[in-house]
Amino acid sequence: MTIDISKEARAEAVASIQCYFEENMEEPIGNIAAGGLLSFFLEEIGPLVYNKAVADVRERLEARIMDLDIEVHEEEFQYWRKYERKRKGK
């Protein structure tokens, strides 16, 4: 699965990579090289991050579904029990 990002996001990511190299590396990186590095990370490491995000969302959704089951659960066949309680109270 290829991870695609918008042109605007790609331009910002390339600029960020260039800024990172200027601040932290001995030599700056050009626009083409930064774009290539971004493509490599998106293809090689992107799926790892994506899969982790999907797993996290799934875990949160499963927890919410469990809560939902507790919140909206109704006991079945309560009609006659309601009348039995009234009779016992007399």
What would the pLDDT profile of 11-45 be if each residue is shown by its tens digit? 999 999 999 999 999 999 999 999 999 999 999 99
85 in a structural domain: yes
Find the domain containing 57 and state its range. Answer: 7-89
SS in 3 state form for 22-87?
HHHCCCCCCHHHHHHHHHHHHHHCHHHHHHHHHHHHHHHHHHHHHHHHHHHCCCCCCHHHHHHHHH
53 in a structural domain: yes
The pLDDT of residue 87:
72
Mean pLDDT of 77-88: 80
The pLDDT of residue 10:
97
The pLDDT of residue 27:
94
14 burial via Cβ count (<10 Å: 0-12, 13-18, 19+): buried
41 in a structural domain: yes
1 in a structural domain: no
81 in a structural domain: yes
Mean pLDDT of 62-89: 84
82 in a structural domain: yes
Q: How confident is the model at residue 75 (pLDDT cuts 50, 70, 90)?
A: confident
2 in a structural domain: no
Instruction: Report how many domains make up the chain.
Output: 1
